[in-house]
Amino acid sequence: MAEDHLVHFVIHAVQRLPLSAFAVNSKGCGDEQYPPHMMLALLIYCYANGIFSSRSIERATDRNIWRGDLTAETHPDQDTIPARRRLRSIST
């Protein structure tokens, strides 16, 4: 895939964002953890391509050629994707 493809732009842009406020399960128990940068890049890329439903995003990660670049060959399921869309308010 060409380096000037949208997927590479999204990955590099998201990697520059400070995502320390995202909740990560450091206990190592429960559902599989996906890197916050990867999940955000996946959502942005899919939204930019008109893919909005969790099921469509899940199918896209299984069959599209950009999945290796964007999700490192992982496969977030349709339950994981909407859970990552929700942002929790951070109390200061």
Q: Is residue 77 part of a domain?
A: yes
pLDDT recorded at residue 51: 92
Sign of torsion over alpha carbons 51, 54, 59, 65: positive
**Stretch 48-70: mean pLDDT, rounded?**
83
Which amino acid, one-letter code, is at 52? F
Q: How many angstroms separate the first and last alpha carbons of the chain? A: 43
Reported as a single tens digit per residue, the pLDDT across 12-52 is 999 998 877 666 666 655 566 788 888 889 999 999 999 99
Q: How many domains does one find in the chain?
A: 1
Q: Are 45 and 70 in contact (CB under 8 A)?
A: yes
pLDDT recorded at residue 9: 92
pTM of the complete model: 0.72
Which residue range forms the structural domain that includes residue 72?
6-14+33-85
Q: Is residue 72 part of a domain?
A: yes
Q: Is residue 24 part of a domain?
A: no
Q: Is residue 25 part of a domain?
A: no
The answer for residues whose C-beta is within 8 angstroms of residue 7's C-beta and 6 or more apart is: 1, 45, 66, 69, 70
